[in-house]
Amino acid sequence: MNADTLVTYALYVLAFPTAFWLVTYLIPQMYMAILRPVPNLVHRYDARWALVTGSGSGIGKAIAFKLASQGLNVVLVSLDDEHLRNTLEQLREKYPQLEFRSVGVTFSPGVDYVKKIDDATKDISVQCIFNNAGFIVTGFVDQTPLGKLLANVECNATASFAIAHHFLAKLVSNKQRGCIVFTSSVAGFIPTPFAASYAATKAFVSQLACSLHIEVQSLGIDVCAVHPSPVASNFYEKVDHKIELMEQAQKSAVGPELLPNEILRSIGCCALRDLGGMAWGTRIGTFFIPYNFFTELFTAASTFLPDYKVHNKNRKFKSS
């Protein structure tokens, strides 16, 4: 066997993992994006009720309207503000034959939000749960009050887990089919400086979705997490520190009304789903780089980033 043949075999061996990954990643993604019909959750689970957190606006509101269009009654869980009241009124006006309930809560440490949700749903059977509520905290961790970071963790991760646990236990105990869907983020699978707590919570819910998917799929309960590309909503309006990378990403944002069909296509077909060009590109582009090496590259370049320079000026150093 000559050297050219050995080189050829070596290239085939090295190319196989890449080709295998691309095929196993892209085929399911393309099937869900192009070929799979949007499932009707009423028919799939013989369901009557769904619950959506963060449903006062944005993606959550769009999901609530989609579920109502399929004939599901919906429990809206969100901040007790005008957005929640307006969404409730709009749904009742558009779908007078259905029932809608609102639960105004804050997913903050020390708040017993699960009890409030339980009290509002004791007389109904909720089989479709969409854990969508979340917000982002930006800036350096050392310059951000710990309470604010922990509130971010509570809302994005702890509350999602608590609500999923509450309804999952009921579904299993009652031998009911259903689904639990988490809205995660691209930030959950790449290092995300200047939004560390947010990225950590999204990594948490994606991992949680995969683990629950394995535990309960055989019981007829579908669990998945979706990673949307940037969405045009009020999600970024109240951040303390603007991030240039985020501002650039927002220029390609799509309306939240475009997401519900894609989210529903994910249910029962995968554990994780990347939605949109940015999510696809980030996943494929970072797959070929070991995570630690990617982090170290990011670290080496960090001090040259405009965001780093801006926020570093606000750091408080003790005078020597």
Element holding 178 (H helix, E strand):
strand 178-183
Q: CA-to-CA distance for 66 and 267, rounded, in angstroms?
A: 14
7 has a pLDDT exceeding 70: no
pLDDT tens, residue by residue, 238-288: 667 677 667 676 777 888 999 999 999 999 999 999 999 999 999 999 988
User: Across residues 297-306, what is the average pLDDT?
Assistant: 92
Give pLDDT, residue 235.
Answer: 67
Percentage of the residues of the chain whose pLDDT score is greater than 90: 78
Residues 6+ apart with CB under 8 A from 291: none
Please say whether the beta carbons of 85 and 100 come within 8 A: no
Please say whether the beta carbons of 196 and 63 come within 8 A: no
75 has a pLDDT exceeding 70: yes
Q: What is the full DSSP assignment across 83-148?
A: HHHHHHHHHHHH-TTS-EEEEE----TT--HHHHHHHHHTTS-EEEEEE-------S-GGGS-HHH
Q: CA-to-CA distance for 272 and 251, rounded, in angstroms?
A: 25
Q: Which of the four pLDDT bands, split at 50, 70 and 90, describes residue 313?
A: confident
Which residue reads 């750091």 in tokens? Answer: 315
Give pLDDT, residue 310.
Answer: 83
Q: CA-to-CA distance for 260 and 258, rounded, in angstroms?
A: 6
Q: Considering only CA atoms, which of 147, 84, 68 is closest in space to residue 110? A: 147
Please say whether the beta carbons of 191 and 199 come within 8 A: yes
Name the more confident of 232 and 89. 89
Q: CA-to-CA distance for 315 and 52, rounded, in angstroms?
A: 39
pLDDT tens, residue by residue, 172-210: 999 999 999 999 999 999 999 999 999 999 999 999 999
Give pLDDT, residue 100.
Answer: 98
Give pLDDT, residue 245.
Answer: 67
φ, ψ (nearest 5 deg) of residue 71: 100, 15
Domains (range + CATH), the chain: 36-312 (3.40.50.720)
Give pLDDT, residue 101.
Answer: 98
User: Across residues 27-54, what is the average pLDDT?
Assistant: 97
Give pLDDT, residue 249.
Answer: 67
Q: What's the distance, CA 141 to chain centroid?
A: 22
Q: CA-to-CA distance for 38 and 94, rounded, in angstroms?
A: 21
Q: What is the pTM of this model?
A: 0.93
